[in-house]
Amino acid sequence: MNQEKRKKSVFVEWTQAIVVTLIIAIILRSFVFLFARVEGISMLDTLREGDRLVVSKISYTFSEPDYGDIVIINISSDAEYVKRIIGKGGDSIKIENNVVYKNGTALNEPYLQKNLTYDDFAEVVVPEGYYFVLGDNRPRSKDSRYPSVGFIAEKNIDGKVIFRIWPLSDFNSPYNTGD
């Protein structure tokens, strides 16, 4: 009888541990961080197809998205993109001769591949509460230049990319520019 009671006790303890672990995992996944996989080449050379990323979902609970942040954006129920924030509400953005201008000043973008050529983009003003995002591989990126993406509302930013965790040989922060 005592042996049977011990078996039940061990079973109950294991069941409780599993349930608590699942609840913690669900809470962390829902509110703290998520994992994302890069699909496509729009962020070359910063990120590559198949890279696995850790994304902080709480980064913007205490602060707002900032220039240069690499973010996961939710375009629709079945489309999420990884892009870089270039402009915030009130900023004017234009692209001329392969140079991005924010409020009339050329951006220094050391993360871009050398000698990229991409189309000019007429000056726009980012509405308040929205962001202008671009991929680092400008010729091959579907981003705020396209009406299907457009300006991104803060509520559509799922989080800030913190680390690349795969492949292990490239484990690092994607904000390193090699300088």
Could you give the residue numbers annotated as active site? 42, 83
Return the beta strands (E) in 4-98 as ranges.
Answer: 33-37, 52-56, 70-76, 79-88, 92-96
Burial of 2 (0-12, 13-18, 19+ CB in 10 A): exposed
Give CA–CA dist 26/130, Å, rounded.
Answer: 29
Number of H helices, E strands in the chain: 2, 11
Q: Are 44 and 137 in contact (CB under 8 A)?
A: yes
Residue with tokens 């929205």: 130
